[in-house]
Amino acid sequence: MDQFINYYENHAFKAGAAFRRAASLPNASRYVRRYIHKPEKNPITLEPIHPGYDCVMEIWWDSREYFEKAMYALHHGKFLPDRIKDELELFASTPTRCAVSRNATLPWGRTAPR
């Protein structure tokens, strides 16, 4: 895991550093990488089951329009061949997945409305 994190944080797609800052994630309001260090036990089966990936990357945009512009820039930019090559080396075990999530506030836990 340490080798993966080091590569991802310090070497992945260095050729496109300016591209990442300028065009790759226009108007992104948050960017977080969450590394899977140790799978926890499933509370039903009590088996630790690895999720099949080593990192979850969250990128937040304030609008759907900003998200679509970023996705277009990632796929149509001049750095696409370099990004594909780099991702094949970095993410050899599973393909990159994308999803939209929506939060639901539930009536329990510390952050629940009172």
Q: Please state the domain count of the chain.
A: 1
**pLDDT > 70? residue 46:** yes
Q: Is residue 23 part of a domain?
A: yes
| Closest to 53 measured CA to CA, from 36, 34, 32, 33 | 36
Separation between Cα atoms, residue 4 and residue 11, nearest integer Å: 10
Residues 6+ apart with CB under 8 A from 66: 26, 27, 28
Torsion on CA atoms 35, 38, 43, 45, rounded to nearest 10: 120
Q: Is residue 111 part of a domain?
A: no
**pLDDT > 60? residue 36:** yes
**pLDDT > 70? residue 32:** yes
**pLDDT > 90? residue 15:** no
Retrieve residue 30's tokens: 């948050």
CATH of the domain at 74: 3.30.70
For residue range 64-108, list pLDDT tens digits in order.
998 888 888 777 777 677 777 777 777 665 667 788 888 887 787
What is the domain range of residue 13?
2-90
Half-sphere exposure of 17 (CA within 13 A, CB side): 6
